[in-house]
Structure 1
Amino acid sequence: MLGGLSTEELATIFDEWNRGELESFLIEITADIFKVRDEMGNDGGYLVDKILDKTGMKGTGKWTVQQAAELSVAAPTIAASLDCRYLSGLKEERERASATLKEAGLKDDEVIARVRGTVDRKRLIDDVRQALYASKICSYAQGMNLLRAKSIEQGWNLNLGELARIWKGGCIIRAVFLDRIKKAYQRNPDLASLVVDPEFALEMVQRQAAWRRVVGLAISAGISTPGMCASLAYFDTYRRSRLPANLVQAQRDLFGAHTYERTDMPGSFHTEWMKLARKGQIGAGASLN
């Protein structure tokens, strides 16, 4: 959309990507899909452009996200994908929302046209390639962490590197990328996450600038990229040694007396937040007087 790429150009790009680091079953079939013309219509266009934008599902994604929640494993990229399927099913609602927001003054076409005018197509294509690769690392990291958690719970003692090798033999997620995952777990069977494997970590750092450009560009144009956004948020959250979760814990303790831990001493603590806050207000008032 922002690159103004034709269906033929997209087919060529995906073919090219399938000869590099993104080589996979899904990239390959996507290139093939872009090449197929509509034989039922009369305009000689491409079939993919005639398909209703309403995704079906068999329940695998729902089951995966449920398992992640039960095991307390963060899987935002997988959850974002599932949410997109749910939203795609609301075709009539989305059409009404589009019309309502346009009447309210939302000018999508103008915004996209303005952003498109700033885009270097060649750079955008390469940025998307890098962003897709980095997002895949996060997605596979979440899936592997889910499998590891379930293995620990059930005592399966799964060999994650061997699983990656088996998948490469033939399944919907088969990809040359899986060789890299296998080697990562061979280097460290107790690897906490693919994100911290030295080789993957280096690649993510090298690609993060392109990744951020793609996500930022999409957001500025109002184009939904939930998978890439969720992966980037996962990366940015996971890599932080300190998060604003301290405020959440304070809120939980205030409204539910759930207690909290401190950074400077061991133990669990509870505070009478409202009483101390009022005391602080009184003290501040007194000092002003």
Structure 2
Amino acid sequence: MTDGNQPRIGLIGLGTMGAALALNIAEKGFPIAVWNRTSGVAQRFHDDAGDLAARIVPTETLADLVAAIAPPRAIILMVPAGVAVDAQLESLSPLLGPEDLVIDAGNADFHDTNRRDQAALPFRFLGMGVSGGEDGARHGPAIMGGGSQTDWDLVAPVMTAISAKADDGTPCAARMGDAGAGHFVKMVHNGIEYADMQMIAEVYGLMRDGMGLHAAAISDIFAGWNDGVLSSYLIEISAKVTAARDRHTGAAMPDVILDRAGQKGTGRWTAIEAQHLSAPIPVIEAAVMARNVSARLDERQAGEARFGAAPGPCPLDAEVLEQALIAGKILCYAQGFTMIDGASGRFGWTLDLPGIARVWRAGCIIRSAMLNDMADALAEDPARNLIMAPFFADLLARAMPALRQVVTQGIAAGHALPALASGLMWFDMMRTARGTANMIQAQRDFFGAHGFERLDGIDDRHGPWG
């Protein structure tokens, strides 16, 4: 990707993520040209880059950026998803040729990426999911590419070099499939991230409100869990945030933060798309719902004033909570991988489930030790639900009693546990050979003559309703 000192790659958008990614690329030895819509930003970025400035070419106009890059050019867009991307593509159209490649590395809706892939753009186009936040972008993110193999191959040397590396040294960067496949996988990643965070928050709430533990004690518990099966980035930072003290008051940091969670929409997209795919992901849906409820602070305060504060004492121990969280995590990831598998058939992709698990092992927000075993289980049988893989089936058999105990005791004491409870309900449905949908089918036939299947094979699809 390099030709002497002239860049073969450029980047547009020097916000937090774009700046971090550009520094990562330069640090790995690749000269890079940069441009930002606001005048002077690119030059200041260069001037502040220290030793890396020698590999960074700041430009003041879009035409200057294109001229600074040797063809065939690769230009990464790090601009807000949606209309800003379309506007940038339109601005680049008269400046680039058919061998040049534009890479949308933002949090794009994969439907938009599909549309752009099919559009008559005068250059090549690649959609790319990047996960890991600012630190990941700077030091090694997980990268999920979507587009043709030829287009991916053009930038693969750079992307594998800047990506996170798993413990076995494997780069956490790969092409997921055609068109919007990379952004789709990144979307589901973010949905799982929502659910993982929500379950951790629910367990935190049980420790804080049900067990009466202070933040320092909760931090110790999280830190202990991070040495076991739950070892992951999110558990690691949960230990750190509960240990932190507020610089203004000296109080535990979580105790001064308003319980109103923000979101950028990717979790919501996951829940919406799951309905189109008929993919049950109740843990993720519950997490999205919980964030929406958290935003209704005035209503929640009015509810407490009218009905009384809900959470009461809930005597549990850390080991039971740990096992419950292990079970919830397995159930959540199983749902996410099943949704990804369903997208392969719907969109004509061949999504490599074990390969996706391997990409997620490092760099991204949901990275965890458990993903190594998930990759192995999915490689053994990609079509098998993850909960049925022997390793995870055994884990669930040991952990599910704890999840049931936590949910039932927590709910009885008035604690809101939407994600953990949704996981438990889904598991119970998945292990029930004869459920209750026969009643629904009878009702549907009664009011709409929709018909039903019979257990005994008799060829009569309607009931005697008159």
TM-score (norm 2): 0.54
1:84 maps to what in 2? Answer: 290
Q: Name the one with the larger strand percent.
A: 2
Cα distance in 2 between the residues matched to 1:32 and 1:15: 8
1:214 maps to what in 2? Answer: 406
Rate the CA distance shift 1:40–1:151 in 2: closer, same or farther, 3 A: same
Cα distance in 2 between the residues matched to 1:238 and 1:12: 35
Cα distance in 2 between the residues matched to 1:95 and 1:65: 27
Quote the offset at 1:268 in angstroms: 6.2
Map 1:160-239 onto structure 2 (within 5 A).
Answer: 160-191=353-384, 193-239=385-431
1:285 maps to what in 2? Answer: none
Cα distance in 1 between the residues matched to 2:278 and 2:460: 21
1:241 maps to what in 2? Answer: 433
Cα distance in 1 between the residues matched to 2:302 and 2:389: 46
RMSD of aligned Cα (Å): 1.4
Cα distance in 2 between the residues matched to 1:156 and 1:22: 31
- Counterpart check, 1:37 vs 2:245: yes
AA matched with 2:383: D
Map 1:1-289 onto structure 2 (within 5 A).
Answer: 1-41=209-249, 44-102=250-308, 108=310, 112-113=312-313, 116=314, 119=315, 124-191=317-384, 193-265=385-457, 269-273=461-465, 275=466
* Runs of 4+, deviation exceeding 6 Å: none
* TM-superposition CA deviations, 1:235-276 (whole Å, max 9, x none): 100111110110011111111211111111165612242x3x
AA matched with 2:232: S
Note if contact 2:410-2:417 (Cα within 8 Å) is conserved in structure 1.
yes
Structure with bigger RCO (C-alpha 8 Å, 6+ apart): 1
| Secondary structure of the structure 2 residue equivalent to 1:130 | helix
AA matched with 1:139: C
| Secondary structure of the structure 2 residue equivalent to 1:261 | coil
Q: Which runs of 5+ in 2 are unaligned?
A: 1-208
* TM-superposition CA deviations, 1:211-237 (whole Å, max 9, x none): 111111101101011111001111100
* TM-superposition CA deviations, 1:114-160 (whole Å, max 9, x none): xx4xx2x5xx2101100000011110011001100001212211110
Rate the CA distance shift 1:73–1:268 in 2: closer, same or farther, 3 A: farther
Cα distance in 1 between the residues matched to 2:447 and 2:439: 12
Cα distance in 2 between the residues matched to 1:166 and 1:267: 50
Cα distance in 2 between the residues matched to 1:84 and 1:108: 16
AA matched with 1:15: A
TM-score (norm 1): 0.86
Quote the offset at 1:108 in angstroms: 4.0
Note if contact 2:242-2:252 (Cα within 8 Å) is conserved in structure 1.
yes
Q: Which runs of 5+ in 1 are unaligned?
A: 276-289
Rate the CA distance shift 1:224–1:108 in 2: closer, same or farther, 3 A: closer
| Secondary structure of the structure 1 residue equivalent to 2:455 | coil
* TM-superposition CA deviations, 1:86-119 (whole Å, max 9, x none): 11011000100110113xxxx746xx24xx4xx2
Cα distance in 1 between the residues matched to 2:265 and 2:226: 28
